[in-house]
Amino acid sequence: MTKARKQMHLGAILSGVGTTQNGWLDPGLPGDASVDIDWYIDNARKAEAARFDLVFIVDSPFITPDTAPHFLNRLEPLTLLSAVAVATSRIGLAGTLTASYWEPFNVARQFASLDLISKGRAGWNVVTTGLEGAARNYGRDTHFDHALRYRRAGEFLEVVKGLWDSYEDDAFPRDKAAGVFLDKAKLHRLDHKGEFFSVAGPLNIQRSRQGQPVIFQAGESAEGRAFGAAIAEGIYSNAESFEQAREFYADVKGRAAALGRDPDHIVILPGLVPIIADSDEEAQNGKLDLDKALVQLGRPFNYHDFRQYDLDAPFPDVSGLTLNSYKGHAERIVRTARQEGLTLRQTAWHFAARANPFVGTAATVADEIERWFLGGASDGFNLRVTSPTDFARFIDQVVPILQARNLFRRDYAHDTLRGHLGLPFPENRHALAREQLAVAAE
C-alpha cells in the first residue's frame, strides 16, 4: 500500500529527570531538571536544531510519595511552553491540560495566547486525567466515570474550538484614520448551551497564523480510540510492538474515515524510548528493582499495592478494583497476564522491563523506525527525552540516517505546527458559513 505521507514526524517529550524510579541518577542529568527551565530550553533548542516537529509536555495533577520523580516535582505545561516559545522559533509546542478540571474558557484563552506568542506553534494534548486521586484536588470525592469523562471532554472541546473562532481572521482593520479597530460583524458570540457547559463567549483573543492550536489526544481504551478518531489531529500512542501499533493505527484511521474525516489529517506518534548501543547486543541496565516495579505496576490500577500478594502465584484477581484510571493500560496488563499465564512477579518484570523493539545500533534503530513508518504502524514518533547522552545519540546518529533515506526533513519548510504536521488550515466557521451562503445564492 502506498504511503500517503512522504516524511515522518518527530516529537520530543521533554521529561526532566524521567519517569522511571532511578533514571534521575544519571550523572549527566541535573537532579532539578524537571523544574529547571534552562534544561527544557536547552533540549528544545537541540530538538529544533535536529528539525523535530514539536516538543511535547505530558502532565497530571496528582501525586503520592511513590510517584515517579519527574511527576513528583515539575513545571506546569503552559508556563513552561510560553518560556520555551520565546527561546525557539520553529519547533511546535504541545502541552497537556485536562478537560476534567479546567474551565473551557480559560483553556481556550491560554492556548490561544501561547499560539499568538509563539506565532502559530501551539498544540493542546486533551486528556481526561487517569488518576482517581486527582478528583480530590478539585473538590470532588470521585473522578468522573470513564464514559462520562469522554462525553464531557467531547463537549469541552466543542466549546473551546467554538471560542477559538470568536473572531474571523480579518476582524481587525485597525484603521487609525477611519477610527475603526474592530469590524463588529466579524465578532461572534458562541452561546453554547449543552449537557455540561453553557458558555456565552466571545473569547477575548484573536486567532493566530495557524488558525487554531493543533489538537492532540492519547487514549487506548475503546472510548479513547473513538474520541481520537473523532477529534484528534495528533495522537500520542503507547504501542509496545509493531503488530500492536499497526492494529491501533488501522483501527483509528479506519474509524476516522468512517466519520468522514481524511485519515491523513491524524498524525499518529507512538512513544519511543530507544536504547542505542555500539553493538546489537541488548544492554542489561543494571539490577532491576522488583519493589519499584510492583509500585509502577500498581499505578494504572489507581495505585493498588501489589506487594501484598504472593509473588509467585498467578496474577491476582483485580476485577474488584475500579478501572477508572488508565483503563486501557490496566486492561492490557490483565489481558497479557491471563493470556500468557504469568505470575505476579513475571507480570511485574514484563511491564517494567518490557520488550522494546528499538534497541541496538543506530542503524538497527533507524531500520525499525522505518519499518513502522512504511508498514502502516505510525506517522512518526514521540521520543522520550531525559538522559542527555541518549538524546545526543539519537540526534547525532539516528536522525541523519533517517534524513539520508529521505524519511525525515533536513530543514523546516514551514514555521507553524500545522505546517510541520501537514495539517490543513481550519477556516473560521463563520467566514465559511458566509461564503457558503453566498455560493448558494448565486
What residues make contact with another protein under the rule CB under 8 A?
17, 22, 24-25, 27, 31-32, 35, 37, 41, 60-63, 65, 67, 69, 71-76, 78-80, 82-83, 85-87, 101-103, 105-106, 109-110, 112-114, 116-117, 133, 136-139, 167, 172, 174, 176, 179, 181-182, 184, 187, 196-202, 204-206
* CA–CA distance, 51 with 214 (Å, rounded to integer): 18
The DSSP 8-state label assigned to residue 88 in this structure reads -
Which of 60, 169, 201 is CA-nearest to residue 425? 169
Closer residue to another protein, CB minimum distance, 97 or 229: 97
Closer residue to another protein, CB minimum distance, 64 or 406: 64
Closer residue to another protein, CB minimum distance, 6 or 174: 174
Minimum distance of another protein from residue 21's CB (angstroms): 8
* Residues β-bridged to residue 55: 12, 93
Which of 159, 97, 99 is CA-nearest to residue 122? 97
Minimum distance of another protein from residue 249's CB (angstroms): 33
Closer residue to another protein, CB minimum distance, 261 or 430: 430
Are the CB atoms for 63 and 103 separated by under 8 Å? no
* CA–CA distance, 360 with 23 (Å, rounded to integer): 20
Minimum distance of another protein from residue 182's CB (angstroms): 6
Closer residue to another protein, CB minimum distance, 289 or 370: 289
Minimum distance of another protein from residue 140's CB (angstroms): 8
Minimum distance of another protein from residue 214's CB (angstroms): 17
Minimum distance of another protein from residue 127's CB (angstroms): 14
Minimum distance of another protein from residue 422's CB (angstroms): 26
Radius of gyration of the CA atoms of the chain, in A? 22
Minimum distance of another protein from residue 41's CB (angstroms): 7
Q: Which three cell numbers stand for residue 223?
A: 472510548
Which of 27, 56, 2 is CA-nearest to residue 385? 56
Minimum distance of another protein from residue 121's CB (angstroms): 12
Q: How many residues are present in the chain? A: 442
Closer residue to another protein, CB minimum distance, 89 or 406: 89
Closer residue to another protein, CB minimum distance, 154 or 224: 154
Minimum distance of another protein from residue 65's CB (angstroms): 4
The angle formed by the CA atoms of residues 382, 92 and 276, to the nearest 5 degrees, is 30
Closer residue to another protein, CB minimum distance, 282 or 305: 305
Closer residue to another protein, CB minimum distance, 79 or 389: 79
Are the CB atoms for 313 and 343 separated by under 8 Å? yes
Angle between helices 290-298 and 344-352 (to 10 degrees): 90
Angle between helices 77-87 and 37-49 (to 10 degrees): 50
Minimum distance of another protein from residue 153's CB (angstroms): 15
DSSP 3-state of 333: helix
* Residues β-bridged to residue 98: 127
**CA of 172: how far to CAs of 112, 165, 190, 230, 363, in Å?**
16, 14, 19, 32, 52
User: Quick one: residue 179, left, alpha or beta (phi over 0 = left, psi -120 to 50 = alpha)?
Assistant: left
Q: Show Cβ contacts of residue 407 under 8 Å, excluding neighbours closer than 6 positions.
A: 7, 8, 369, 370, 373
DSSP run (H or E) holding 41: helix 37-49
Closer residue to another protein, CB minimum distance, 82 or 356: 82
Closer residue to another protein, CB minimum distance, 202 or 314: 202
- Residue that the C-alpha cell 481504551 belongs to: 221
